[in-house]
């Protein structure tokens, strides 16, 4: 009886030992899993017992491997989706070893896409949802334009003769803007009788030195706000105030009281001989003195770079809040544009072999790609459907983060970009291109 008692104790001890041994092993495996490692048993015992040279991989490095996860969801579900030229299931959590991977996406009627993914200890996951863009359909405008303005639901097209045509968004047939309504009498006058319509910008127009706005019916309505205001011949609207470029003075608003000579005016700021004034609609946001060491030339722009408001001038960035101290971004010879979208900072700049795009996120992940044959200097960046639209005065390109190359959407003379719409001149014809994103 005593023997059976000892046998029962030993059996329970063995059971406990086996249980805690299993717990220990699974604990080790679980710990290694969350550290991004797994045990590979495919090399065999002969490889383990083999004497390795210094240049060969050690057995422990071949047994204990690091892994990452690739999860790509593509809308719509593509007919071709491969990972390193092998089939990949759309939206699958794929466990893979660290290294470089190629994701290729194709669907008839859509712009193809190739992504280069590099998984490592610092970037062990690739999780993304992408909406493919349909192959763009180009429509020619009815009239060739020299300039395009976006105004509400319309595009205003200006031809060589000075005539203004109104195009409803999504259409390519224009309507001549030549009818005005006088507010005080309600009478309608057609400008085709000899009156010249001139655009001041921001939706304001002049007819015989009187200011009009365009109403919802596409008619020019007499605006009494600027009644009896003397206009110069090349007057333009900036922040709903009248500016005269010939003498660099504002005719209306607070800006007309500036004592300093205005040197530069754009949609972001006023630059005088001694100050740099950031604008906020009809108010002055702030005025910053300009140090004598900073030389301005040509058009400048305001940006936010790493939560700092900076000015881009002659391919250089200056920190406005730190006495215009130059900000240098490693790897670029000159900067063309920089913007922040969510936690991603997108910078486009010049290198010796061309123009490059760099995308950095809050997790210290960075990807770069050369924008092959991209031309133009005055760049604007926008984000649409998970892809970046990069536009200059000569070209518009589409780029996905981690993509191997950018896709050229339009070239030649870019007239206007508004949301998903691109209008450009090519060989004497004004074309209208609208981007459309696929759905699940």
Query: 246-293, pLDDT tens digit by residue?
Result: 888 888 887 888 878 888 887 778 888 777 787 654 444 556 777 777
Residue 198: closest CA among 147, 250, 240, 249: 147
Give how far the C-alpha of residue 219 lies from the chain's centroid of Cα atoms, to the nearest Å. Answer: 35
304-308 contact pairs (CB < 8 A, 24+): 304/339, 304/340, 305/338, 305/340, 305/345, 305/347, 306/340, 306/345, 307/340
C-alpha distances in Å from residue 195, one per residue of 71, 178, 187, 257:
62, 9, 15, 33
Residue 238: closest CA among 259, 224, 255: 255
Give 191's contacts (C-beta < 8 A, 6+ positions apart): 178, 179, 180, 197, 207, 220
Cβ pair 156, 162 in contact under 8 A = no
Over residues 289-318, the mean pLDDT reads 77
Over residues 149-154, the mean pLDDT reads 80
CA distance linking residue 2 with residue 204, whole number of Å: 106
DSSP letter, residue 79: S
Over residues 297-304, the mean pLDDT reads 74
CA distance linking residue 370 with residue 349, whole number of Å: 10
Question: The whole model's pTM is what?
Answer: 0.73
Give how far the C-alpha of residue 347 lies from the chain's centroid of Cα atoms, to the nearest Å. Answer: 9
- Encode pLDDT of 321-380 as tens digits: 788 888 888 888 888 888 888 888 888 888 887 888 998 887 777 888 888 778 777 788
Residue 340 β-bridge partners: 345
Pairwise pLDDT comparison (93 vs 190), residue with the higher score:
93
Cβ pair 174, 157 in contact under 8 A = yes
Over residues 390-401, the mean pLDDT reads 87
- pLDDT confidence band for 21 (50 / 70 / 90): low
Cβ pair 437, 131 in contact under 8 A = yes
CA distance linking residue 98 with residue 93, whole number of Å: 15
Q: CA 292, 298, 303: angle at the middle one, nearest 5?
A: 80
- Encode pLDDT of 195-216 as tens digits: 677 888 888 888 877 888 887 7
Q: What is the largest CA-CA distance in the chain?
A: 124
Q: Quick check: 57 pLDDT over 50?
A: no
- Encode pLDDT of 120-140 as tens digits: 777 777 888 888 999 988 888
- pLDDT confidence band for 110 (50 / 70 / 90): very high
C-alpha distances in Å from residue 153, one per residue of 203, 206, 214, 385:
12, 21, 11, 21
Percent of the chain with pLDDT over 70: 78
């Amino acid at each position: 009886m005593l023997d059976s008692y000892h046998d029962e104790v030993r059996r329970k001890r063995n059971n406990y030992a086996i249980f805690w041994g299993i717990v220990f092993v699974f604990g080790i495996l679980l710990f290694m899993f969350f550290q991004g490692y797994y045990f590979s048993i495919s090399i065999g015992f002969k490889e383990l017992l083999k004497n390795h040279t210094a240049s060969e991989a050690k057995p422990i490095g071949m047994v204990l491997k690091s892994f990452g996860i690739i999860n790509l969801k593509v809308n719509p579900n593509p007919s071709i989706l491969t990972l390193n030229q092998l089939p990949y299931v759309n939206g699958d959590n794929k466990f893979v070893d660290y290294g470089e991977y190629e994701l290729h996406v194709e669907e008839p009627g859509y712009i193809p896409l190739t992504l280069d993914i590099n998984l490592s200890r610092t970037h062990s996951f690739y999780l993304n949802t992408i909406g493919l863009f349909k192959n763009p359909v180009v429509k020619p405008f009815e009239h060739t334009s020299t300039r395009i303005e976006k105004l509400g639901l319309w595009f205003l097209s200006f031809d060589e003769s000075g005539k203004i045509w109104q195009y409803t968004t999504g259409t390519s047939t224009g309507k001549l803007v030549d009818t005005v309504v006088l507010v005080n009498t309600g009478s309608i006058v057609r400008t085709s009788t000899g009156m010249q319509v001139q655009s001041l910008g921001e939706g304001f127009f002049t007819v015989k030195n009187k200011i009009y706005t365009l109403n919802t019916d596409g008619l020019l309505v007499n605006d009494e706000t600027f009644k009896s205001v003397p206009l110069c011949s090349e007057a333009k609207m900036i922040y709903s105030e009248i500016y005269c470029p010939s003498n660099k003075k504002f005719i209306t608003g607070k800006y007309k009281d500036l004592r300093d000579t205005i040197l530069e005016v754009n949609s972001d700021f006023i630059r005088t001989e001694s100050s740099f004034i950031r604008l906020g609609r009809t108010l002055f946001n702030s005025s910053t003195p300009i140090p004598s060491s900073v030389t301005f030339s040509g058009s400048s722009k305001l940006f936010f770079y790493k939560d700092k408001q900076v000015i881009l001038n002659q391919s250089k960035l200056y920190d406005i809040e730190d006495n215009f101290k130059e900000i240098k971004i490693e790897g670029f010879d000159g900067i063309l544009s920089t913007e922040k979208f969510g936690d991603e900072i997108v910078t486009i700049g010049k290198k010796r072999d061309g123009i490059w795009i760099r995308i950095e996120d809050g997790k210290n992940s960075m990807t770069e790609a050369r924008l092959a044959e991209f031309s133009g200097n005055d760049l604007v960046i926008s984000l649409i459907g998970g892809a970046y639209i990069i536009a200059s005065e000569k070209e518009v390109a589409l780029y996905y983060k981690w993509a191997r190359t950018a896709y050229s959407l339009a070239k030649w003379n870019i007239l206007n970009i508004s949301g998903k719409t691109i209008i450009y001149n090519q060989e004497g014809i004004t074309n209208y291109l609208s981007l459309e994103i696929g759905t699940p």
